[in-house]
Amino acid sequence: MLIEGADVEAAAARIAGDVRATPLMASSPLLPDPCAGSAALLLKLESLQVTGSFKARGAMSKLRSLPPEQLRRGVTAASGGNHGVAVAYAAARAGVPATIFVPETVSPLKAEKIRRWGAELVVTGTVWDDTNRAALAFVEEHGVAYFHPFGDPAVVAGQGTIAREVLDADPAVTTFIVAIGGGGLISGIAVAAKAARPDIRIIGVEPVGAPTLHASRAAGAVVTLPEVTTVVPTMAAKRTVPGVFEIVERLVDDLVLVTDDDLRAAARLLWMELGLAVDLSGAAAIAALMAGHITMRPNERLCALICGAGRDVIE
């Protein structure tokens, strides 16, 4: 298995002081209210995390797991945006150079954030998988430390600290709804949450145009998507890694698909009703609820992860 509950605990100790404990906010009232009957909806606001997304947790967990001599030559990552900002931040904390590879579809705002943290930005490829090949070639040539966005145990354990934080704040939470790109976030959350409470429900949300885990689950093994059509670069991986797939198969209860229009509508709701500026991946959990893809149970207490900040729908 890629990680276990003890790895999340160790990650929490490593990143203390480098990341924020983000708010867990009751969503009511909302218009329209995506919850029905006696169910309650809480929002975990990782959009307020340092760098603007949960990715700071995984990047700092990876950085703090490496000896200083391994970091001296610098670090690199391939990213749809949020992971790149987080790795640039981690490198700045350590005082080492960072080179971040992003696809041509990267948000200009996220590209600007990467540069603001002092990293060199390289734009190449149309989807993450293409961009990642360029990053790996750079690692081979320069011997820098590589930060995989979803396939690295230290990164996945860092993301899992979100579940630990949520359950410390509200032990009555019954369900986590989590956006999926490559699957590192939902893997970390599933391991941490199920270690604390095996009865907790974990629901993953993917775009129709990049159903990476959904397709792999249907096939019973990791598959490579023939194409990615979503416009959301942070949710646009063609392929996951075996360790992530194993966790998802064992611990994730359901996977649902949303359209890019569903994501836009949810992001607009969060902005108009709550003043939350989120990127489209950050709206994925709400999109699944608004589209009616999640069947709610009586007295269920759902935690929707608002995983990233952005201005995608703000005019």
Q: Is residue 313 part of a domain?
A: no
Give tens-digit pLDDT for 120-132.
999 999 989 999 9
- Average pLDDT, stretch 78-91? 96
Which of 130, 146, 162 is the last residue in one of the domains?
146
Q: Are residues 59 and 49 in the same domain?
A: no
Residue among 29, 37, 302, 22 nearest 173 (CA): 302
Pairing of strands 120-123, 98-102: parallel
113 domain-assigned: yes
On the question of pLDDT at 195 being above 80, the answer is yes
- Write down which residue in 104, 120, 146 finishes a domain: 146
- Residue 298 pLDDT > 80: yes
pLDDT of amino acid 269: 94
In the chain, at which residue ranges do the beta strands (DSSP E only) sit? 24-26, 40-45, 75-78, 98-102, 120-123, 145-146, 175-179, 201-207, 254-258, 301-306
Global model pTM greater than 0.75? yes
C-alpha distance from residue 66 to each of 1, 142, 255 (Å): 21, 17, 34
Q: Is the dihedral of CA 20, 97, 158, 208 positive or negative?
A: positive
243 with 180, same domain?
yes
Q: Look over the chain and give the mean of its residue pLDDT values, rounded to a whole number.
A: 95
Q: How confident is the model at residue 114 (pLDDT cuts 50, 70, 90)?
A: very high
Residue 311, in any domain of the structure: no
> For position 32, what pLDDT does the model report?
78
Q: Are residues 160 and 42 in the same domain?
A: yes
Burial 111-133 (b: 16+ CB within 10 A, else e): bebbeebebebbeebebbbebbe
Q: What is the pLDDT of residue 91?
A: 97
pLDDT band, very low/low/confident/very high, at 152 (cuts 50, 70, 90)? very high
Q: How does residue 305 score in pLDDT terms, banded at 50, 70 and 90?
A: very high
Strand order in the sheet with 40-45: 24-26, 40-45, 301-306, 175-179, 201-207, 254-258
Alpha helices in 21-118 (DSSP H): 55-65, 68-71, 82-94, 108-116
- Which pLDDT value is given to residue 36? 65
Q: What percent of the chain has pLDDT over 70?
A: 98
For residues 194 and 3, what is the distance between their CA atoms, to the nearest angstrom?
A: 12
Is 294 contained in some domain? yes
Asked if the structure places residue 173 within a domain, the reply is yes
50 and 83 together in one domain: no
Q: What's the CATH code of the domain at 68? A: 3.40.50.1100
| pLDDT on residue 31 | 67
Tell me, yes or no, whether 50 and 156 share the same domain: yes
- Two structure tokens written together for 23: 């708010």
Is 314 part of any domain? no
Residue 32, preceding peptide bond in cis (omega within 30° of 0): yes
pLDDT exceeds cutoff 80 at 213 = yes
CA distance 231 to 219: 25
Determine the pLDDT at residue 1.
64
Which pair of tokens denotes residue 119?
Answer: 């990293």
Q: Tell me if 202 is assigned to some domain.
A: yes
Model confidence pLDDT, tens digit, residues 22-72: 999 999 877 677 876 778 999 999 999 999 999 999 999 999 999 999 999
Q: How confident is the model at residue 202 (pLDDT cuts 50, 70, 90)?
A: very high
- 208 and 229 co-located in one domain: yes
**Residue 193 shares a structural domain with residue 299:** yes
Distance of CA 213 to the CA centre of its chain: 14
Task: Give the range of the structural domain holding residue 132, as residue numbers without chain letter.
Answer: 55-146
Separation of alpha carbons 258 and 101, rounded Å: 27
Same domain for 47 and 60, yes or no, is no
Provide the token pair at 143: 């011997």
Q: Across the chain, how many H-helices and E-strands are there? A: 12, 10
Tally of domains within the chain: 2
- CA separation for the pair 115, 58 (Å, rounded): 20
> For 207, phi and psi rounded to 5 degrees?
-75, 145
